[in-house]
Amino acid sequence: MSIEEVSFHEVGAVDSIVDIVGVAIGLDALGIEKVTCSPLPMGRGFVRCQHGRLPLPAPATLEILRGVPVYDSGLSVELVTPTGAAIVAAMADEFVSFPSFTLQSVGYGAGERHLTDRPNLLRLVLGRSLSEHREEGDLLQVEVNLDDMSPEQLAYVCERLWDAGARDVWQGAIQMKKGRAAHQLSLLCSASRLGVVEDLLFRESSTLGFRFFPVERRVLERSFAEVQTPWGIVSIKLGRRGDEVVQFAPEYASCRRLAEEHGIPLKEVYAAALGAWASR
């Protein structure tokens, strides 16, 4: 039927409206991006309402929960109301016994009825997804050992790798066969860029082959802020875990520009920028 024809009956009562609006306000205030719910416990017996004596779970509850996992609670009492079912069915992204995340806080809501075998509580657990600190996707680490390239050529290859879309590029000193001093060139890239990296390594370096393997990494959310120093504005790179700033550092290019413009040591610009951030 059309929305205009729907009659709410008891669901239109003040307590149900408070429940629905309160949940909406709470989700918005907490900045919730995903909701999970455990399978729902179904009660037995009967309940009396405006339509008379109805079986439990209530017919409206069952209709709303089509496709939602449920189980028999073993109790002759209503544990899931039509209002609760509607909220869960509309808001839950998935139904799992307990999600994997970093737990932050817990809240409880208590009902008036005394249950003989369990606390009559609704528990809300708030956490941050583990995937927020993990870079998802097909990230690869590529490694190649080089013992016959000049430092100038190797530096050029590194620059080209950055241009090719590498996430990170680094070198390490190693010793190869016959006691030869060499370098291990390593980089991170997405699997979609492996072809470009392969072509570049075979064309620009002296290698006859390289190795690669999938990796995972966890990263902080990155953002930037600005601070005022006696010589000008310096950009500060921030690493956040949720709302908490756990890493911060002045941007090299920003500090170097001011050091060159004013003829002062680079370390003084760094110190001033860190002091300005600490006293903000």
Q: What CATH number is attached to the domain comprising 235? A: 3.10.20.300
| 192 burial via Cβ count (<10 Å: 0-12, 13-18, 19+) | exposed
Q: Which three-class secondary structure string do you get for 140-200? A: EEEEEEECCCCHHHHHHHHHHHHHCCCCEEEEEEEECHHHCEEEEEEEEEEHHHHHHHHHH
Question: Are residue 227 and residue 210 in the same domain, yes or no?
Answer: no
What pLDDT score was predicted for residue 63?
93
pLDDT > 70 fraction of the chain, expressed in percent and rounded: 95
Q: Which residues contact 120 (CB under 8 A, 6 or more apart)?
A: 110, 111, 112, 113, 114
* pLDDT given for residue 138 in this prediction: 67
Contacts of residue 76, defined as CB under 8 A and 6 or more positions apart, other chains included, come to 43, 44, 45, 56
Q: Give the pLDDT mean for 217-228.
A: 85
Weakest mean pLDDT among 2-11, 43-52, 92-101, 254-263: 2-11
- For residue 79, pLDDT over 60 is answered with yes
Same structural domain for residues 78 and 9? Answer: yes
Q: What is the pLDDT of residue 183?
A: 93
Residues 6-23: pLDDT tens digits? 776 666 678 888 999 999
Residues 156 and 246 in one domain: no
**Are 123 and 196 in a shared domain?**
no
The domain tally of the chain equals: 3
Last residue of a domain, one of 130, 153, 172: 130
pLDDT for residue 243? 78
Does 97 lie in the same domain as 46?
yes
110-139 average pLDDT score: 79
Strand 40-42, strand 211-214: pairing: unpaired
pLDDT at 135 over 80: no
Q: Taking residues 77-92, report their average pLDDT.
A: 92
Task: Name the more confident of 240 and 231.
Answer: 231
Q: How many CB atoms lie within 10 A of CB 227?
A: 20
Pick the residue with more confidence: 98 or 44? 44
Q: How far apart are CA 154 and CA 265, in angstroms?
A: 30
| Together in a domain, 105 and 75 | yes
8 A C-beta contact, residue 156 and residue 264 = no
Residue 31 shares a structural domain with residue 95: yes
What pLDDT shows up at residue 12?
62
Please indicate, yes or no, whether residues 15 and 112 belong to a single structural domain of this protein: yes
Q: What is the pLDDT of residues 46-68, one digit of tens each?
A: 988 777 888 999 898 999 998 88
Q: Does residue 116 have a pLDDT over 70?
A: yes
